[in-house]
Amino acid sequence: MRLYTSEAMRAADARAVGLGYPSLLLMEAAGRAVAEVVARAYPSPKIVVLCGKGNNGGDGLVAARWLRLWGREVEVYAAAGQEGDAGLARSALEAHGLKIQPLEAWAPEPGSLLVDALFGTGLRGRLEGFWASLVAQIRASGLPTVAVDLPSGLPYEPHLEAELTVALAGLKTEHLFYPARSACGRVVLVPIGMPEPALVSPALPELLTPDGMRRLLPRRPGNANKGSVGRVLVVGGQAIYTGAPTLTALAAARSGAGLVTVAYPAGSAVQPPLEAIRKPLQDWSGEGLQGAKAEAVAVGMGTGPEGVAAARAALELGLPTLVDADALQVEVIDAYLQARLPTVITPHPGEAGRLLGRSAAEVAQQPLESAALLARRFPGAAVVLKGGPTVMALSPVPDSAPVLAVNTTGNAAMASGGMGDVLSGIIAAYLAAGLEPWDAARLGVYLHGLSGDLIGKVGMLAHEVAEGLPEAVWRLSKGRVRGFWAQEPEADEAP
């Protein structure tokens, strides 16, 4: 599944039409799907559909027809001058005897439900004049609103705020990224019959889906032993961040690693989990790490200024490595890539900003672009730019266009200390289990967020997210996970 910009979705529409798929069929499917979602989510109120001049308005006119045919009380207010498919949708509705009123005549009616079919992906620039005051009037009414495709006005200000948004054919950036995402409310994605070749475009970011991620889960044969399913070495810890490597080790073990070893400065207060092997080090010379039994390393968590020394010591093991936190320095990552080691880097916006020479705020405002820049700067490394949502990027070879992926799990309750350390442990466990960096990164990010969603409450702690991983993996493996865009998420899995 791909993530679209408005432009990319319009291109997909054009490809469908180019393939011979009639656009009126798409509009009919879109409008009917909107009607179905509205009818199910709002069984009783009077429905007021507000339609613009373009195809978004056309979808609203189709939805109004079906809702009326299903016996719902429907009023329609529309801009004048629909043409093409939207014009046909208008005459089809009028053929059923419904009188369409001008948009200017709309006034808020308490108890009604609004369907916002004013603007979708065709909006160019901010709303002004009549449209801006209509948006203000609708918002001031406080009436519940269902948006067709996008809340009108997005991604600019002003825009409508929807309780529910019915995304047509594919999810758009506004449905995933803040602040626009807040205006969408609950998002339900509906297919509209678009031919698959029209939808797929490798240049668009991949959206991590339950099906896609389930396929990446490593199989655990019945005769597995602790040495055969992946052993992880965690290298970190220092005076004040003694919990960080412990959380990473816990998460690696909870992700199925057969053995976890924690290497930390001797004399520090690091307390590895009971099940872990301890490796207290006298210094970061690297000698102390030799002989550690592992198939992958996680380095950098809680090392403070010793991060570079720790990462250089770990580099000598020649293993697939996850580089995090204090080890995230340009010279470290370059050294790993020069050594041709499979590498995953997991910066948060502050660390990414440091690597790119930008501010954390700039990175957080442009996560897709920033992840792509990091991938180009560090070709061969799987880049995990953490955030809500986390974005991943990989340029397989120098100067290659990065492939991008966007996570679809996780929630704001995960904004608390130690969550990143847990993510590092998960990804390291999958590296140790033999997954390629790109697969380990995507699966790890997805499961981390899924475990957080299964808890879903503010105040949850990082170690609880680690403890929840077996349940998250089990549900994913059994096909019991649905994307946030599903019409009816399973009751016991919704946050």
Ligand X SMILES: Nc1ncnc2c1ncn2[C@@H]1O[C@H](COP(=O)(O)OP(=O)(O)O)[C@@H](O)[C@H]1O
Residue 118 tokens, joined: 């004013």
55 binds ligand NAX (CB under 6 A): yes
DSSP letter string, 281-338: ESSSSSGGGTT---SEEEE-TT-GGGHHHHHHHHHTT---EEE-GGG--HHHHHHHHH
Residue 226 tokens, joined: 């602790």
103 binds ligand NAX (CB under 6 A): no
CB atoms within 10 A of CB 379: 15
Closest residue by beta carbon to ligand X = 420
12 binds ligand NAX (CB under 6 A): no
Output 82 or 390, the one with its CB closest to ligand NAX: 82
Output 159 or 348, the one with its CB closest to ligand X: 348
CA distance 251 to 469: 8
Instruction: Please count the residues of this chain forming the interface with ligand NAX, following the rule CB under 6 A.
Output: 26
Query: 125: helix, coil or strand?
Result: coil
87 binds ligand NAX (CB under 6 A): no
Helices 243-254 and 469-477 meet at what angle, rounded to 10? Answer: 30
CA distance 430 to 308: 24
Work out what residue 147 binds among ligand X, ligand NAX, K ion, none; the CB cut-off runs from 5 to 8 Å by kind.
K ion
Binding residues for (6S)-NADPHX, as ranges, are 55-59, 120-126, 149, 244, 300, 348, 421
Work out what residue 388 binds among ligand NAX, ligand X, K ion, none; the CB cut-off runs from 5 to 8 Å by kind.
ligand X
153-170 core/surface letters (b: 16 or more CB in 10 A; e: else) = bbbeebbbbbbbbbbbbb
Work out what residue 116 binds among K ion, ligand X, ligand NAX, none; the CB cut-off runs from 5 to 8 Å by kind.
K ion
CA distance 410 to 447: 9
52 binds ligand NAX (CB under 6 A): yes
Output 148 or 310, the one with its CB closest to K ion: 148
Output 402 or 410, the one with its CB closest to ligand X: 410
88-121 core/surface letters (b: 16 or more CB in 10 A; e: else) = bbbebbeeeebebeebeebeeeeebbbbbbbbbb
119 binds ligand NAX (CB under 6 A): yes
255 binds ligand X (CB under 6 A): no
Beta strand 382-385 pairing with 343-345: parallel
How is residue 237 annotated by DSSP? -
**Scanning residues 122 to 141, which ones bind ligand X (CB under 6 A)?**
none
Residue-level length of the chain: 495
Output 120 or 237, the one with its CB closest to ligand NAX: 120
- Taking residues 139 to 178 in sequence order and writing x for each that binds ligand NAX by CB under 6 A, - otherwise, the string is ---------xx------------------x----------
Helices (H), ranges, 357-418: 360-365, 367-377
304 binds ligand X (CB under 6 A): no
Query: φ, ψ for residue 214 (rounded to 5)?
Result: -60, -40
CA angle (418, 420, 424) in 5-degree steps: 120
Q: H or E element: which one contains 135?
A: helix 129-141
Binding residues for AMP, as ranges, are 386-390, 420
CB 3 → ligand X: shortest distance, Å?
16
Output 28 or 351, the one with its CB closest to ligand NAX: 28
**Scanning residues 295 to 354, which ones bind ligand NAX (CB under 6 A)?**
none
Output 112 or 271, the one with its CB closest to ligand X: 271
**Scanning residues 409 to 428, which ones bind ligand X (CB under 6 A)?**
410-412, 414-415, 417-421, 423
Residues 6+ apart with CB under 8 A from 219: none
Name the one residue in this structure whose structure tokens are 């719902």.
72
CB 443 → ligand X: shortest distance, Å?
14
Work out what residue 152 binds among K ion, ligand X, ligand NAX, none; the CB cut-off runs from 5 to 8 Å by kind.
K ion
- Taking residues 390 to 409 in sequence order and writing x for each that binds ligand X by CB under 6 A, - otherwise, the string is x-------------------
Would you say 391 and 405 are in contact if contact means Cβ atoms under 8 Å apart? Answer: yes
Work out what residue 127 binds among ligand NAX, K ion, ligand X, none; the CB cut-off runs from 5 to 8 Å by kind.
ligand NAX
Binding residues for K(+), as ranges, are 56, 116, 152
Side chain identity at 353, as an amino acid letter?
A: G
Would you say 272 and 246 are in contact if contact means Cβ atoms under 8 Å apart? Answer: yes
Output 84 or 396, the one with its CB closest to ligand NAX: 84
CB 423 → ligand X: shortest distance, Å?
4
- Residues at the contact surface with ligand NAX, assessed by CB under 6 A: 13, 23, 26-27, 30, 52-59, 119-125, 127, 131, 148-149, 168, 192
